[in-house]
Amino acid sequence: MIAIVDYDMGNIGSVYNMLKKIGRKSEITREPEKILQADHIILPGVGAFDSGMEQLEKFGLVELIRQKALVDKTPILGICLGAQLMLEKSEEGQKSGIGLMEGEVVRFQLSPESKLRIPNMGWNQISKVKSSTLVDVLPEQPRYYFVHSYHFKMANPEDQLLMSEYGYDFCSAFQRGTIAGVQFHPEKSHKFGMALLRNFTESN
């Protein structure tokens, strides 16, 4: 079963509908027993870092997610805020993240001459840093939908999976083993998002 973690942060319905569209059964849940039984976990999210961590703590999900990801090695995919929460900390807030991987979340630092606006909102291309079953099979010229003011800064460059460009190159997806996170929204990225979610749900 694919568990979509419900902590009252984000468009979880869109993730559920996209999985249904590609023929994958999932359940939106915050029940510990159901998450424990899941063979894949998706941690979506939209909003602020501290609010996200407060919600996960409120529902008693932080240690459960750590156990599933780090001990049980259950494949987990973070989306947008969900992925940011998987790192250690963020410039956006004061709370510690879940800490599944070493890294932090930093605000875009665009040059004064830049005409780009924050947040980065819209479609953007990705470039692959390393091989992974998550992204090795995608439609041609893959592009994804982004809405964010902050991005990943990984402590270990080898954890970077995808890069994108918005004023400068930034890490738009990370992965180590069964732990992965994407800054963009595959659930809003049409065939490109379908392909990535299909790849994730077929991983083990």
Confidence class for position 113, pLDDT limits 50, 70, 90? confident
Judged against a pLDDT cut of 80, whether residue 204 lies above it is answered with no
Active site residue 92: no
Cα 6–Cα 161–Cα 165 angle in degrees, nearest 5 = 95
Domains of the chain: 2-201 (3.40.50.880)
Confidence class for position 112, pLDDT limits 50, 70, 90? confident
Judged against a pLDDT cut of 80, whether residue 122 lies above it is answered with yes
Active site residue 88: no
Digit-coded pLDDT (tens) for 15-59: 999 999 999 999 999 999 999 999 999 999 999 999 999 999 999
Question: Catalytic residue among 80, 148, 151, 171, which?
Answer: 80
Question: Catalytic residue among 148, 171, 185, 190, which?
Answer: 185
Question: Catalytic residue among 40, 92, 148, 187, which?
Answer: 187
Task: Choose the weakest-confidence range: 4-13, 27-36, 176-185.
Answer: 4-13
Q: What is the residue-wise DSSP string for 36-91?
A: HH-SEEEE---S-HHHHHHHHHHTT-HHHHHIIIIIS---EEEETHHHHHTSSEET
Digit-coded pLDDT (tens) for 126-158: 999 999 999 999 999 999 999 999 999 999 999
Rounded to whole angstroms, the Cα distance separating 18 from 13 reads 9
Amino acid at 152: F
Active site residue 171: no
The DSSP call for residue 185 is: B
